[in-house]
């Protein structure tokens, strides 16, 4: 068993970015927080699949060139190889759950 409270971890960039509650050995589980205007640069995972569940706010994802707008309660799953960009164009803080499996360190490649 593994247990912790979200308050025990920090977001990667202070007030935004991922906050991994579990990172490996088989999967990642985290909370991503994006402030209005924040952008996660376009990237792809070659091995890991990712899933996102929106807790608060709204977000636009560009997946393989297709724009998808997600709001509270929405869920999206991305297969390995699906290039994606994430941005908060709204006026509220975005909070979403992210899972990635199987965990492979360094499985993130920038794309244009």
* Residues 36, 91 contacting (CB under 8 angstroms): yes
For 25-38, write each residue's pLDDT tens digit.
999 999 999 999 99
- What is the pLDDT, as a whole number, of residue 61? 98
Cα 57–107–34 angle (5° rounding)? 15
According to CATH, the superfamily of the domain at 9-104 is Jelly Rolls (2.60.120.10)
Mean pLDDT of 73-99: 97
- What is the pLDDT, as a whole number, of residue 47? 97
- What is the pLDDT, as a whole number, of residue 112? 82
Q: For a pLDDT cut of 90, what percent of the chain falls above it?
A: 99
User: Is residue 57's pLDDT more than 90?
Assistant: yes
Domain positions in the chain:
9-104
Residues 6+ apart with CB under 8 A from 75: 51, 52, 53, 54
């Amino acid at each position: 068993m593994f247990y912790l409270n979200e308050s025990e971890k920090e977001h990667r960039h202070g007030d935004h970015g991922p906050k991994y509650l579990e990172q490996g050995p088989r999967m990642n589980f985290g909370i991503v927080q994006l402030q209005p205007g924040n952008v996660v640069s376009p990237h792809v995972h070659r091995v890991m699949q990712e899933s996102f569940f929106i807790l608060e706010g709204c977000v636009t994802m560009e997946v393989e060139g297709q724009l998808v707008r997600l709001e509270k309660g929405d869920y999206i799953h991305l297969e390995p190889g699906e290039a994606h960009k994430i941005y908060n164009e709204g006026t509220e803080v975005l909070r979403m759950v992210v899972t990635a499996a199987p965990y492979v360190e360094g499985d993130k490649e920038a794309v244009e």
